[in-house]
Chain A
């Protein structure tokens, strides 16, 4: 324990609390109606609450409610919208499950989902209904659900002890921990039995059977107590959460950390649940430690281990995996690394003598070496004993062959010795047998070696050691020699075969390392994404003896491409692509050998990098039943490498695209600059020259000179306008119109535009109106000024010179509305959109002009993500309205 120093809030705990709150903000709320057993009225209570919410105006939808034909309950369904169930067929039986996708698409505020512990029919997305509920919560939908205490994962063993019933449908405690509210539906055992007798729970015979079995009074009392205790614990935990978050003084978490040693044995399950109960009661965090030894696990053990580890994860443990042949040392090292204060192990149930031979039991070693850690030793519960392996399984693979070889070798050696012993004596025969054992041990299964050792010892004794043809041994010396021979033979056999096992494991590891190396080399030698993926897929297929599909996301990383990459060696069908898409969206492994859609043909691993998910790796293990831990790790490493490969080429592609864009922009700019230089310089010369002439020319010196000069000036001005319109248009069309956003006053914009055209349109003609209190808006002043100028010029062109032009600005919910209206000839039908087309000239247009002015207006407006509309005024004339979404700033006081 820590010293007298007062315990401060643990930063991890605070962080977890903050994260929990953040998650809560976007997540739906979960309310569980919790009861001791069926029939207490959970569904009824849930529906009552739902009806109340519905009357309060909430959007409530029934995802799935089982009324079990109870009339009172059915009556409560009235008025509630029900999402129809999804029909599934499994082995010819029609089943109806909750329609998860339908519910997600419907997106109600609150969904009712009965019986949280239900197991979905094969073919559903998740094996368990609580996983459906978690997905609903993730989507922000509130859920009401019901649960009985016997389905709570950590109580399963206790329930079994009390009632003798094995519960198969369980819900992890971590799901229940996530509940925002738990309402206990309580009924005394007498009341419940009365309800049962009245036929309110089960009908007819079933009621009677149930009353005799499960609904016995003592059962009910025990279950009720358990349900109440569970709820109290939950309330306690919430209280502690609040205290921690609000920094209310008093006691902090106990500072304890538990660890449980986990193995492949079924006994680990109860051990894990026990640890979870204690950890929860102590408000301590806990870890599950698994030590991988060099002895490889067979497939069954692997399945058992995976099951145990995922149970630990579900119950909220942190899973720690470590390697080492000295299990006790490895467990202690991991425990110390994770600051564990209490360690839970199972009581050894093996043969005590055997334990001593192996250098003492695990518990013994732990107790000797782990001085500072408290150790709980938990007994194996009935029914949780490891399944007795069949003899063949126990003895290992290739047994008949190995025994055959062993027997044959012994026969040959015996025959040879028979002739040899006349020359060498019977003692040398023992050495010969020993030699054959050493040789066989490097090749055969250890049980076969043991068999050979025993057989040869017996044969030696029977045939060679005097007196021959009896098992009796005369001299003390021979007896000693025989005993020693037997012990040494067994030991040598064991040692050699252990070495061999280790060597095999080592070779396997070596193979994997090599595979990984080949992948890395292949990937780095690749010349393109296609090439790299081809190499990676080939390597994957080889190592996992599988076929592989690669599905990539689009460049934005939002959608998964349903067509597999050409490098793939298996083609997922539509259903499989659905699984892959799920894995992609949730960034979780899905499909075969997982909890999500396990009946899929392949396992789907997301290709994730720090920049997001780039795709999915689908691995189709043709005829495998399980995946070892090692293989899973290797697969994940492969996925990481392939993700890095994809990312690398995406980055290269992105960079080259950016370079190309920059190059083309530079080219455009240079071209535009030089074109504008070439066009504008002569115009500048003409303008300056005519200005110069204007001063010197008099009517007297050159008659009509002034007239011609004015014509030149007019023509030059028009040419200048055309040139700058063409250049503007070119800038718009190259798509490179950088916005120079700045804060400006709308009124100033209007005035400035009117100012710019004052030579063509007299300022008195333009009537400007803008509210006084308009805030500043952010836009490209130059572009919008030019747009308004073009609209004004257009208005002046199409209306009589004595008619005013209205120009106004207005702000409408962060949209700046600029309007230019004339009282001219207006637009003909169909012209409303045509006028903005390039080179379009109004039907009633006067000669001159390029038909670019309005398309430039549209270009500049679109560059601001706005729109421009042309229409006729009700009072005659045309009006042009520009609507720009803008940022608004403070109002000038």
Chain B
């Protein structure tokens, strides 16, 4: 049996840390805490956590700095949990390597679901060619996309876009990340392309039966919805 996953909580608010411990431990997480960014980085080295929950407003250094320092050597999934709700802050965190972003106040259920998603991506092998997400089935090896077992034909660009979303299923992918992956680094500011192709993809994939598959994260990017 796998040992319980370790969650490192880096937050200066004692109340939040206590609460997260209370919320996570019943769901078989081992929780360790750090009050400052410096301590958080030390803990990350020492304890090798499976997931990091990071606050952006830390007393000693900015959360973004902690994130960048962490990403210099580690691919541990990071969930940013912050009161900063401006899109710019979210995009900055995601573009600097955060795996997801949740704003305070947050629901416990939502937090647990997000944690599951970012962990799954790490544990679920990326070599798996066939991804099944709800009614959507994507065979990355054979380039075949099916909705409810009906094959859907996509253009090359639409497919490239879907592939990026599938590879990060359940996670927010920022506009910049999508544009860079599909159109290359020069297209990072051309968000209107993205809008057009997301519209096309939705028209082809989403039906009344499937419900919403691609969710807009306002001002940030898109997320492929995975059912629980």
> Which residues of chain A have a CB within 8 Å of any CB of chain B?
673, 676-677, 680-689, 691-692, 695, 716, 720, 724, 740, 742-745, 748, 752, 776, 778, 780-782, 785, 889-890, 892-893
Contacts and interface: CB of A to CB of B under 8 A. Distances in A.
B192 A776 contact: yes
Nearest to B216: A752
Given A720-B105, A748-B216, A688 B19 contact: yes
B218 interface: yes
B163 to A, nearest CB: 20
Most buried by A among B20, B85, B218: B218
Contacts of B85: 676, 724
A782 B104 contact: no
A367 to B, nearest CB: 68
A687 B57 contact: no
B64 to A, nearest CB: 13
B208 interface: no
Contacts of B191: 742-743
Contact of B16 (A681, A720, A748): A681
Contacts of A780: 219
Given A673-B84, A685-B16, A692-B22, 8 more contacts: A680-B105, A684-B106, A685-B19, A695-B108, A720-B105, A782-B87, A892-B196, A893-B196
* A-B complex: 10 closest residue pairs judged by Cβ atoms: A743-B192, A684-B104, A691-B108, A684-B105, A680-B83, A687-B105, A782-B219, A892-B199, A683-B105, A685-B15
Interface of B: 13, 15-16, 19-20, 22-23, 57, 83-85, 87-88, 104-109, 111, 175, 191-192, 194-196, 199-200, 216, 218-219
30 contacts: A680-B83, A680-B104, A681-B83, A684-B104, A688-B19, A688-B23, A688-B105, A688-B111, A689-B19, A691-B108, A691-B109, A716-B105, A740-B87, A742-B191, A743-B191, A743-B195, A744-B195, A745-B195, A748-B216, A752-B218, A776-B192, A776-B195, A781-B218, A781-B219, A782-B218, A785-B218, A889-B195, A890-B196, A892-B196, A893-B196
Contacts of A785: 218
Q: Is the interface of A mostly helix, strand, loop or mixed?
A: helix
Nearest to A780: B219
B175 A742 contact: yes
Nearest to A676: B83
Contact of A681 (B15, B23, B200): B15
Nearest to A688: B19
A642 B15 CA distance: 64
A676 B82 CA distance: 11
Contacts of A781: 218-219
A687 B83 contact: no
Contacts of A778: 192
Q: Is the interface of B mostly helix, strand, loop or mixed?
A: helix
Contacts of A743: 191-192, 194-195
A682 B57 contact: no
A884 to B, nearest CB: 17
Contact of A677 (B19, B83, B192): B83
A740 B195 contact: no
A752 B223 CA distance: 14
A890 B218 CA distance: 21
A744 B216 CA distance: 11
Contacts of B23: 688, 691-692
A893 B203 CA distance: 11
Nearest to B83: A680
A677 B16 CA distance: 12
A114 B57 CA distance: 78
B143 to A, nearest CB: 22
Given A676-B83, A685-B15, A745 B199 contact: yes
Nearest to A677: B83
Contacts of A680: 83, 104-105
Contacts of A742: 175, 191, 219
Nearest to B23: A692
A679 to B, nearest CB: 8
A683 B23 CA distance: 16
Contact of A692 (B19, B106, B192, B216): B19
